[in-house]
Amino acid sequence: MFELLPIVRRIVRRLPGIGQTVGAAPANIARRTIVVALGLCLLASFSLARAADLVGVRQDGHEITAGDIPGWKIVYFGYTHCPDICPTSLQSITSALETLGPIGERITPVFVTVDPERDTPAVVAQYISYFHPRMIGLSPHPDQLPELARAWRVKYTRVDLKDGDYAVDHTATIFLTDPSGAIVARYPHDLDGEALANRIRTTMLTR
């Protein structure tokens, strides 16, 4: 997206009549207006939010498919054995939704595990019970997780530990999606509840 603007400018300057500011023919002025408008439309199309679906097994054991969780969603990818970042992020989400009041009631919080080998629906159910009461927990099937992660641009890597256990390094971004499923905002994981609430409010007011 950031490299398109110089390209559009070069194209505009090379067209006949472009760059004339005094005594330019009406046809050339019209051509310049059209080209600039098309360039801006092209730039806008590259900046549109991507739509990303959610799949997997809910904490209650029910399988979900794309579109089964309607409305606004705030989504976090992590795992239940995460020592600090995941619980802190989920607590910030919980606090933010409570702070937002009626706005927060429109948003469904979703936790997606990147460790389905250990994070069964029952394990996820126990884990998310410590956070927002409306939080949905998803355990993707192992064959679903790679594609799901690619769609959301989430990276995860298993790291074997000396004691025979393992951790999972993963993207810790907090995602906000609109009712169409488009990702409209990405927030850093280290925002506290109030700061996250302010960012969410600003995003939703501009939609």
154 within 8 A of 111, measured Cβ to Cβ: no
Q: What is the pLDDT of residues 75-100, one digit of tens each?
A: 999 999 999 999 999 999 999 999 99
pLDDT at 84: 93
pLDDT at 1: 37
Low-confidence stretches of the chain (pLDDT beneath 70): 1-51
> How buried is 78 (Cβ within 10 angstroms: 0-12 exposed, 13-18 middle, 19+ buried)?
buried
> How buried is 26 (Cβ within 10 angstroms: 0-12 exposed, 13-18 middle, 19+ buried)?
exposed
Q: Which residues are 27's β-sheet partners? A: none
Give the type of residue at 57: V
- Helical H runs in 111-184? 121-128, 145-152
CA pair distance 178, 73, nearest whole angstrom: 7
